[in-house]
Amino acid sequence: MKNYSTRNNSKIIQVAICEIFADLKPQLTVRQIFYALTVIGVIPKTHAGYRQTCYQLAKMRESGIILFGWIADNTRYHLKPNTYEDLEKAFASWQGKYRRDIWVDQPDHVEIWVEKDALAGVISPITKEYDVPLFICRGYSSKTFLYEAAEAIKAIGKPAYIYHFGDFDPSGVDAAYKVRDGLKRHGADIHFIRMAVTPDQIISLNLPTRETKKKDPRSKNWGDKPSVELDAIPAPILRDLVRKCIESHLDMVALSGAKYLEMLDKEALATIAEIFVQGQNSEGESDD
């Protein structure tokens, strides 16, 4: 598809969005969808094109064409304590949520750092699956954030591998290495790897580029290199990159052992819950 008018071709844009979801799978950020649309020529790679993407996604969600949960947005959240109707339901919840630490017997400590909080919803299913910390940098990390992260790494006492995912532009690359330098400055012994976006990925994945921001003071030394946002990497590829980073450090024998012990622990929790419920029922019968 090439050079369609964004004003008069809402149906074409919506069909393309549905095809993108079918291909890349939820959750996706708005910017990832925008880049996918520009690649196939449905909308222009301009601010107006991005606004049109937002408008069409809003219409599609409101009309039920796509589900609200298909769009990732970790920039907004709410806080509420966990509460339960009674102990029986609490036991059931604890049993369902219980996870054994699979990294206790693993040789390394692994962390995933991502520049953009909007992408947390895209890759967090992978980090959650493997119980790996996901750090949201939001550009440049604060000194406090880096200090606390370094202290946690030192307390673990294992070789630490930090995989950073961020934009390929003057500030994105600089911010990544500021993370590395800040952690090391606070005494964390780390192996730091910029996983994305890299020059090789720009070529191999044919990623859409954008003009480097001239107002960025770091652009003076950037030369004629393109700028590419992390959102330009398709979600499945991004998730696969995260998975490969994590799995490269897993001892599968130790992982199987941890999973087996987790199963035994859950069976024990189920037994405790059953005994508790039986005791509650017996008390109720005796009161009668």
pLDDT tens by residue, 205-248: 999 998 888 888 888 889 889 899 999 999 999 999 999 999 99
* Cis peptide bond upstream of 27, omega within 30: yes
pLDDT tens by residue, 155-170: 999 999 999 999 999 9
| Span 9-33, average pLDDT | 91
CA angle 36, 216, 74 (to 5 degrees): 45
| Span 5-25, average pLDDT | 84
Mean of the per-residue pLDDT values of the chain: 89
Q: What is the CATH number of domain 109-247?
A: 3.40.1360.10
Residues facing residue 32 across a β-bridge: none
46 by Cβ neighbours in 10 Å (0-12 / 13-18 / 19+) ranks as exposed
Domain ranges for the chain, please list them.
Answer: 10-70, 84-106+253-277, 109-247
Token representation of residue 158: 């294992």
Token representation of residue 115: 């520049």
Predicted TM-score (pTM) of the model is: 0.78
Given a cut of 70, whether residue 6 has pLDDT beyond it is no
pLDDT, residue 85, reads 87
- Here the contacts of 213-218 (C-beta below 8 Å, separation 24 or greater) are 213/169, 213/170, 213/171, 216/169, 216/170, 216/171, 218/170, 218/171, 218/174
Range 4-16 burial, b when 16+ CB lie within 10 A, else e:
bebeebeeebbeb
Token representation of residue 38: 């520009």
pLDDT, residue 77, reads 64
Q: How far are the Cα atoms of 108, 155, 160 from residue 150, in angstroms, in the given order?
A: 15, 9, 10
pLDDT tens by residue, 105-125: 999 999 999 998 888 889 999
pLDDT, residue 9, reads 85
Cα–chain center distance at 130:
13
Given a cut of 80, whether residue 29 has pLDDT beyond it is yes
Starting from the edge strand earliest in sequence, which strands make up the sheet with 134-136, in order?
A: 134-136, 109-114, 160-165, 190-196
Give residue 2's pLDDT band: very low, low, confident or very high (50, 70, 90): very low
Given a cut of 60, whether residue 178 has pLDDT beyond it is yes
Token representation of residue 200: 């090789």
Give residue 74's pLDDT band: very low, low, confident or very high (50, 70, 90): low
pLDDT, residue 79, reads 76
| Span 173-199, average pLDDT | 96
